[in-house]
Structure formats: structure tokens, C-alpha cells
Amino acid sequence: MAVAIGQTVRTYAELTKPRLLPLVLVTGLPALAMAAGEWPAPIEMGLVLLGIALAAAAANTFNAYIERDLDGEMERTKDRPLPAGRLAPRAALLFGFALTAFSTVILYLFGGAVAAGLGVATILFYVFVYTIWLKPRSAWNAVIGGAAGAAAPLIADASVNGSVGAPGLVLFGIVFFWQPPHVWAIALFRKDDYAKAGFPVLPNVIGDHPTRWRMFWYTLALVPVTLAPVALGLSGTLYLCVALAVNVWFLGHSVRVLRQRTPESARAMFFASLGYLFALFAAMIGELVFGLSPALA
């Protein structure tokens, strides 16, 4: 019995794409402290982050439900719970609605109406604008749809002040500009898989090398965006040093993708993009934890 229950829990957890949730939490956490000018009470902070994570989990669950047939066509997704037949579609849909309800209630009670509204808006945007409209139709889905993946700082900021200010907008901007090169990197080395499912990813629409150039230009555009927290007095010397170092490193990966033109270099940039983003936000969090951030009152 215990084994069966554990397997069921893991199956439902897979729907939420749990490997993406740490990204949501690490981008929302510094926005809470920056917006408040201090660390919020641990329980309140934890509940707001839980609400944000549940909203992301709900969006991912609806995505899994909508794309279940297409996921079955792709090598990297065919073993997910719905295409593999380990869970009924109706159960997944109900789970998505339950996660939406829980996230909205938690954000409303501990973050306020604006935070709860942004949570619902993020889910709706991810489901209807990104999953249903953009992803099957436009190669630019990674650009416009990136707004949903970058929403955690906006929700966190709103939960503190009832509105979105500079901390939420700046951190939103970092994640928003980071997502295209991150997504296009995986599109380069998985383009055949996406083609089988009929997704118009950028390399299959405009070609590999034009995609590599767009990755480079977006990576270059990230540099001033990642330095904006310093210019606005939200981050200090530690973050500045880390940001400069990882920007040079990430730009190096982008140049390597341009020069080598191999799936291996694109794969390396994909994994580098994860380390890049986590390094930036870890530096912000580190400054806040040790009281080094000028954002703290």
C-alpha cells in the first residue's frame, strides 16, 4: 500500500515538472527582501513562495494535459505520466484546478489580492497564450511566452507592497531576457524531436545559424539587464563581481555555439544557462543574507 501511494504521489509530482520549480523559488526569493527592505517573517515568506510554486505547478500541469498527445511523439517526453498512460487525463486536469485553487487562496491570504491576481494571470497566460496559441504556431514562443516563466519576482514584489515596483520589474527583466537563449539552445540539439511533434521551434523555421546569432544577441542584451540591480541600488559589489564574471562566461558559450555549430556546443550552452541564472540570483540572495545589499533598509 505504501509503495502504491508513493508511486501515485511521484506520478502527480511529475506533472508539475518539479525540476523547474527551484528556478521559480530562487527568482522570487530576493524580490521579497528587496521589496520589503528587510527579510519578511520566515513563515510569511515561506507561504508566499509556496503560493508562487503552486501557481507554477498548476501551469505546468495544465501544459502537460494539453500537450499529452504531442509529448507522446517526442523522445524526451514520451515517458511522462500522461503519454505513458500512468495517469488518466481527467485526473491531471482536476489536479491542475486544485493546484490553482490552493495557490490562489495562499497568495490572497498571505500576499494580498494583487499577488493572487498575478498568480492566476500567470497560469492563464501560460496555458492560453503560450501553450495553446503560441507554442504550436509561432517560432517566437520563447520570447513572448517567457513572460510567464519570469513572473515569480512580480508576484513576490506585489505580495509585499500590493503593487509591482523596481525589484519585481528588474528581476522579471533578467529572467525574461535569459529565456530565449536558454530555450533556443535546447531547440538546437533537440530540433528533430520537436519536428516530430510539429512544434515550430526557431531552428526549424529560420535555420540553425540564424538561431545561433539570435542567441548571441540576446545573451549580449542580457549584460545591461543583469547590471540594472546595481544601477538601481538593489544590489552591491558582490553581485556586481559575480554578474560580470558569469556574463563573460555565458557570452563565451554563445560565441562557442556560433563558431563550432555543433549540437554538443548548444547542449553545453543550455546547461551553462542554468548555472548562469542560478549564479546571478545566488549572489543576490547571498548579499541579502549577509546584509551586504543596499536594498536592505
3-state secondary structure of 191: helix
pLDDT, residue 34, reads 96
Per-residue pLDDT of the chain (297 residues; tens, 9 = 90+): 665 677 889 999 999 988 888 888 899 999 999 999 999 999 999 999 999 999 999 999 999 999 999 888 888 888 999 999 899 999 999 999 999 999 999 999 999 999 999 999 999 999 999 999 999 888 888 888 888 889 999 999 999 999 999 999 999 999 999 999 999 999 999 988 888 888 889 999 999 999 999 999 999 999 999 999 999 999 999 999 999 999 999 999 999 999 999 999 999 999 999 999 999 999 999 999 998 899 886
CB contact at 8 A, 11 and 86:
yes
Residue 73 pLDDT = 87
Q: What is the pLDDT of residue 4?
A: 66
For 259, counting Cβ atoms within 10 Å of its Cβ (0-12 exposed, 13-18 middle, 19+ buried), the class is: exposed
Fold of 2-289: Farnesyl Diphosphate Synthase (1.10.600)
Q: What is the pLDDT of residue 71?
A: 87
Q: Which of 158, 44, 172, 24 is nearest to 106 (CA)?
A: 44
User: Grid coordinates representing 172?
Assistant: 522579471
In the numeric block, the cell 501553450 is attached to 131
The pLDDT score that the predictor gives to residue 3 is 56
Quick one: pLDDT at residue 195?
Answer: 86
How high is the pLDDT of residue 197?
81
Q: How far apart are CA 207 and CA 196, in angstroms?
A: 16
Regarding pTM above 0.85, the answer is: yes
- CA 72 to each of CA 31, 76, 78, 286: distance values in angstroms, whole numbers, following the listed order: 37, 9, 4, 41
Of 165, 167, 128, 120, give the one whose Cα is nearest residue 144. 128
Domain ranges of the chain: 2-289
What pLDDT is attached to residue 8? 87
Alpha helix segments (H runs only) across 68-200: 68-71, 89-111, 113-124, 141-144, 146-149, 152-161, 166-189, 191-197
CA distances from 138 to 130, 135, 260 (A): 10, 6, 27
For the chain, where are the alpha helices, taking DSSP H only?
Answer: 2-15, 21-36, 42-66, 68-71, 89-111, 113-124, 141-144, 146-149, 152-161, 166-189, 191-197, 202-206, 208-231, 237-260, 263-289
